[in-house]
Chains A and B, each alone.
Chain A
Amino acid sequence: MPEDAQELRKARRFLKERLQRDYTTLRGYKEERSNVRQLLQRTAEMGESNSLLLIGPRGAGKTTLINAVLTDLLVNRSFVDNTLIVHLDGNLHTDDRIALKSITVQMRLENAADGKVFGSFAENLAFLLQCLKAGDKKSKSVVFILEEFDLFCTHHNQTLLYNLFDVSQSAQAPICVLGVTCRLDVIELLEKRVKSRFSHRQVFLFPSADQFEAYTKLCQELLLIPSNSELKASADRIDSLHLLKSEALNFNRNHFDGVEYEFDNKFVENWNKHHAKMLKSSQAQKTFQMLYDFDISEAFLKNFIFRLVAQLKPDAPHITVDQLTALSAQYEGDDKIDMLCGLSVLELCLIIAIKHHSEIYDRDPFNFEIVFARFSKFAKISTTMQSVERSIVLKAFEHLRIGELIMPLSNSGVGKVQKEFEMHKMALTYGQIQQAVQRYQALPTEVAQWAQSSLI
């Protein structure tokens, strides 16, 4: 049925885009969200100066929280007219010089013209401070959003942080400094005068999917298709943002937009019923429990579901439990064992020789000669490895080395020691080697037997 295929393609695109580009929908975190929102609102309306640190593990929705708060506030005309928003990122603004130029451009100060800033670093700093000092309660509030805040702490003397916090603690233009970081001990990185000027408000974002039920509910939410009315409501919200055309939101140009999608009611009903049932099954629950045990963050789950959704095809129009378990098996698998299974028999023999050496000498380092001697002892009595030359074994050894299955003891000694005599260590556990030997396709019996015991 071509209509169904059409509908399915639409659903797949819808789900994918919602997973990837929905930057503003935040689930949970009611209290934290209202805390940040009120703080920004007071900065904008009352002209208060504030500072805040948003801390939480990676993938916990820190940036999404800020995006969500900003989208809420930017609908408000009085907020838009009275605030400038300056985004900084520690990964991009790697020193104060670059950060300062970016601030000058984003605040549209007078020494910037069309994105180009004039004057030296010292002049820029002096000019920015003068501008902020010239401001008072009547001037616009500036909201500085510093992502990867811990990287700003590594800058020279922490000049930028000192000055931002200093402005927030003196009677100048009202500013709000919002730091976002994943490090819990970030305050310890601040110098003591910077620390004293920071207001010590910290908002911690720990994923509240503390219970497994909440996690499965989140799975459902990510996988099911909402009704048309819900779609319309979210589309309206996004539209109001597009109308603002604010520069403060750099994501609104390419945001997920529900308005493009309208689904056949029957299809949606069918889809949701099937997938709700699928998610309830014990097999699916087990899979999600496995994911949940490993990582409770939403980012991880989204990644998993994206791979699941990408498997939808017209001839397989629903996600089945089998697909789910197959994918989870991929997540559970060990990449190094896969790598071992891709080695040649000679290389695997070397690995086994290394393993025997490690077992006998309790993980002592080894070099090529040691391994080659142990291997030659085996090759002499084996029927298949008789005619292997030394240079070929050396090549195989080098192959293992660049695959980082074995690693040199130190990087510095490369030039001094000949490569046959350089000491190495093995970056594998015995369990991994054992599994690889079991799983290896068409391994000669001799090698399999030798892997069991080092006695020949």
Chain B
Amino acid sequence: SRLAEGTPRRSIQLSNIVEQRVFKDNEIISTPKRGRKTKSIEDADADYSPRSVQKTPTRTRRISATAKSTVTPIRGTAATSASAAPITPSQKLKKIRAGELSPSMQQRSGKPVDESRKSQLQLAREQLHVSVVPKSLPCREKEFENIYSFLEGKIQDQCGGCMYVSGVPGTGKTATVTGVIRTLQRLVSQDKLADFDFLEINGMRLTEPRQAYVQIYKQLTGKTVSWEHAHTLLEKRFTTPAPRRVTTVLLVDELDILCNRRQDVVYNLLDWPTKSAARLVVVTIANTMDLPERLLMGKVTSRLGLTRLTFQPYTHKQLQEIVTARLGGSEAFKGEAVQLVARKVAAVSGDARRALDICRRATEIADTARDKCVTMLHVQQALGEMIASAKVQAIKNCSRLEQIFLQAVAAEVTRTGVEESTFMGVYTQVETIAAFMGVSLPPPGRALRLCAKLGAERLIISEHSRNDLFQKILLNVSADDIHYALRVGEIAAAN
């Protein structure tokens, strides 16, 4: 049935009922709800309600054991919300599920570093961090306008709708959409626009597609319930008309993760806007442009509609503009240095994150070199590090027999003409090369060890060593890289 394949059924209502019956609401004892998890409500009733007074010996022992160790670690700001009496873990869990306990992080003991004490490079580095999203994104004005007019229109018309936004990673999709939402929320606070709710889910932050219901419901009410329950409650909310319902904007990030074979979650998320009672506007974000046609079913694609927007990768000019906008008026970067980063990154992916990370690395390099300003050389070094190809370096740093082994694999590929060679053929080549170079030949057992070591590094791709002489070996580096690494080394050694 439907329940069988979702999350293990662990209804909170059920356990609340049971807890109320057994522990009379306020007793400070608890047992980990292990055994009860799978039982149905009848079982739980039979187990607990008649015998709630006279407990079985094992049960009392367990309870007393847990009661003794009721020292619960309480930390952070949440400790203030807790009363003086110690809370047992299950009570705490209940509070977490009810949303009464706000999750918190441990605080630092010292104060953060003062702004005025930071150097110019440090300030630039902080400004260049990917997390510092600017108030208005440069080079995305058109897309901003597009999404803004769509959402504003939907909110004003008080109808539902869908939009699909796509583009390769790092092209400012989520940042633009949340920017639009922020602008709209500002308008709402100035009473220039009708009020609306904003919900947000991310496919990659869910353990499975159906948890989307849980997260949406949690953002509406703050409570955590099982997905079945959340689903029915959401269904009720969106399908039954209610007076003074405000428009809800739902942002769905990483849409492709929410697609499973049945596609029931995506269908529901896109079907609700079509109901007149819902007033739901769904904005979906994904990477691939043709996702609706490629992955989604016909009816889902049809509901997704044709309001679409594609974010193109940044060009080198745009990337340059982004970085200079981040830097503000700071003199920490030379103009041509930024240009070099922009051109190199735009040629590969057009990913803004990549450009910002490389710039940040360049400031670090300049910092260690004790320079005040990031020049071309620093950027050059940062580019070398971050668009790294370390294979030649790895081959150069292999031991001598490993190098011979790599040469042998390359020789065997040349000899047979096919990419895939067996260990036996390679070993014959090793014998030949070792004899030629005057090195003592390793026995096959040790050659297998060399092979496994190179395979772990992924310089070659090899099977499990249990296949012994018959395992297949593929070269994972190009044969030219091997020759380059070993020849250049030889020439350097000769000089």
Contacts and interface: CB of A to CB of B under 8 A. Distances in A.
Interface string B59-71: 0000000000100
Contacts of B295: none
A127 interface: yes
Given A47-B112, A192-B169, A197-B353, A110 B10 contact: no
Given A46-B113, A201-B386, A204-B390, A171 B131 contact: yes
B357 A200 contact: yes
Contact of B10 (A120, A182, A294): A120
B75 interface: yes
B96 A432 contact: no
A430 B476 CA distance: 29
A163 B211 CA distance: 16
B405 to A, nearest CB: 11
A366 interface: no
A427 B423 CA distance: 11
A103 B390 CA distance: 32
Interface of B: 7-8, 10, 32, 69, 72-76, 78, 89-90, 92-93, 96-97, 101-110, 112-113, 122, 125-126, 129-133, 168-170, 204-208, 211, 214-215, 218, 224, 254, 257, 287, 349, 351, 353-354, 357-358, 360-361, 364, 368, 385-388, 390-391, 393-394, 396-402, 424, 427, 439-440, 442-446, 450, 453, 456-459, 467-470, 476
B445 A335 contact: yes
Contacts, number: 239
A381 interface: no
Closest 6 CB pairs of A and B: A196-B169, A334-B443, A135-B105, A206-B397, A139-B105, A113-B89
Interface string A281-296: 0000000001011111
Given A169-B131, A193-B204, A110 B103 contact: yes
Contacts of A139: 105-108
A48 B363 CA distance: 14
Given A130-B103, A193-B287, A333 B443 contact: yes
Interface in A49-80: 49, 55, 57-58, 78
Contacts of A121: 207
Interface of A: 34, 38, 45-49, 55, 57-58, 78, 81-82, 84, 96, 108-111, 113-114, 116, 118-123, 125-127, 129-132, 134-135, 137-140, 157, 159, 162-163, 166, 169-173, 182-185, 192-193, 195-197, 199-202, 204, 206-207, 210, 290, 292-296, 332-337, 404, 407, 425, 427-429, 432
24 contacts: A46-B113, A57-B453, A57-B457, A58-B453, A82-B109, A109-B103, A110-B103, A114-B69, A118-B93, A123-B96, A138-B108, A139-B105, A157-B257, A159-B204, A171-B131, A171-B133, A183-B456, A185-B476, A193-B169, A201-B386, A293-B400, A296-B397, A296-B398, A429-B469
A293 B386 contact: no
Contacts of A125: 205-207
Nearest to B75: A108
Contacts of B396: 206, 210
B108 A110 contact: no
A134 B401 contact: no
A332 to B, nearest CB: 8
A182 B7 contact: no
B112 A120 contact: no
Nearest to B364: A38
A169 B444 contact: no
A294 B361 contact: no
Chain A CB within 10 A, most for which of B125, B368, B397: B397
Nearest to A335: B445
A108 B109 CA distance: 17
Nearest to A183: B458
Given A55-B390, A57-B457, A200-B354, A131 B103 contact: yes
Given A38-B364, A110-B101, 20 more contacts: A48-B125, A49-B129, A110-B104, A119-B97, A122-B208, A122-B214, A131-B104, A159-B204, A162-B204, A172-B131, A184-B390, A184-B391, A196-B170, A202-B390, A294-B399, A294-B401, A335-B443, A336-B443, A407-B468, A429-B469
A336 B445 contact: yes
Nearest to B361: A201
